[in-house]
Amino acid sequence: MKSKRFAHLLLPALAALALVACQNDDPVSSNDSLNATEDAAESIASAVGADNGGATDQLSDVIELAGASGLQKPAEVLLGKYSEPNTIASIDTSYDPATGTWTLRLERERGNPNGIPYAEISRTYTYQFLNKNGQPQKYWKVGADTAYTIKFNIVEGTGTHRTRRLSQQLTGLSGSFTATGVNTRLVTINGTYFRSAVDTVTTRNAVRTLDHALNLTFTNVQGPRGSRLELSRKISGTVSGTYTAKVTFQRGESYGETTINRSFTINLGGGNATLNISGKNFEADLTSGELK
């Protein structure tokens, strides 16, 4: 009888303890942080991807300016040479001899306008080829001398792109890169990059928009001088940054955060971008700009 009475008292106590334990390990709070961070990762990966016209695409433009094609051809031809059969490019350039500065305007279209993936972008750049004394020269190679450094600025950009889980409308773009060692086999790039856009993310049967701003700092990012063929798979280095977004939930489930603020790092290598955001790692394909 005593054992039955003890069991009768023990069962409610254990149930109460289990309820308290569940409340302390709040799954809603945990999922809120996880989902918001995953959305940030989707957005960042997309903004870095090469085929989306992301940061890697601009890094490839810098590196291609010092490519082998530049030995005999003017700078405007370099950015017009693509290996991708589904890429359309339009290039317009002008040169200011007083400052030794090129201005380049380009338009690119990748993929099927009615399909996925797809990207349509326009960019305006300015850049200078600097010799070993830090003085401008017109081309990457002038006479027997090649440039040692390229100063490259992203003045503005517009565009839109779509991937399987995300569509984006670009609202702002700027950046400043210094490429050194452009007279060697390996180009090193340091600089800053700013991008703002509105993303529509569709995952887990839910749709939300992320009106966001992204700041990136590139530290010793390296790639081989020459063709941009599969260049995103040959780039390595470190990127750090901040991501801020205002979230609007359109359909399906939501999470607690309506404003996302995250700091992060990205390790580039082997065609991948490994993002570390709030202690959680995400792997993205550097070409497609999609999380794996």
Q: Dump pLDDT digits (tens) for 183-226.
A: 999 999 999 999 999 999 999 889 999 999 999 999 999 999 97
How much is the pLDDT for 166? Answer: 97
| Spatial distance between the Cα atoms of 51 and 65, rounded to a whole number of angstroms | 18
Query: With pLDDT > 90 as the criterion, what percentage of the chain qualifies?
Result: 69
Q: What is the mean pLDDT of the chain?
A: 85
Q: What is the dihedral of CA 287, 280, 261, 174, to 10 degrees?
A: -20
| Spatial distance between the Cα atoms of 227 and 229, rounded to a whole number of angstroms | 5
Contacts of 54 (CB under 8 A, 6+ apart): 46, 47, 48, 195, 289
Say whether 151 sits in a helix, a strand or coil: strand
How much is the pLDDT for 202? Answer: 94
68 has a pLDDT exceeding 90: no
How much is the pLDDT for 80? Answer: 40
For the stretch 35-45, pLDDT in tens is: 899 999 999 99
Domain residue spans in the chain? 34-291
| Spatial distance between the Cα atoms of 247 and 16, rounded to a whole number of angstroms | 37
86 has a pLDDT exceeding 60: no
| Spatial distance between the Cα atoms of 118 and 162, rounded to a whole number of angstroms | 5
- Res. 100 pLDDT band, cuts 50 70 90: very high
Please give the structure tokens belonging to residue 138: 């017109």
Question: Could you tell me what percentage of the chain is helix, strand and coil, using 3-state DSSP and rounding each to the nearest 5?
Answer: 25, 50, 25
How much is the pLDDT for 87? Answer: 63
Contacts of 43 (CB under 8 A, 6+ apart): 166, 199, 201, 210, 212, 214, 243, 245
Q: Average pLDDT for residues 158-170, to the nearest whole number? A: 97
| Global model pTM greater than 0.75 | yes
Query: With pLDDT > 70 as the criterion, what percentage of the chain qualifies?
Result: 81
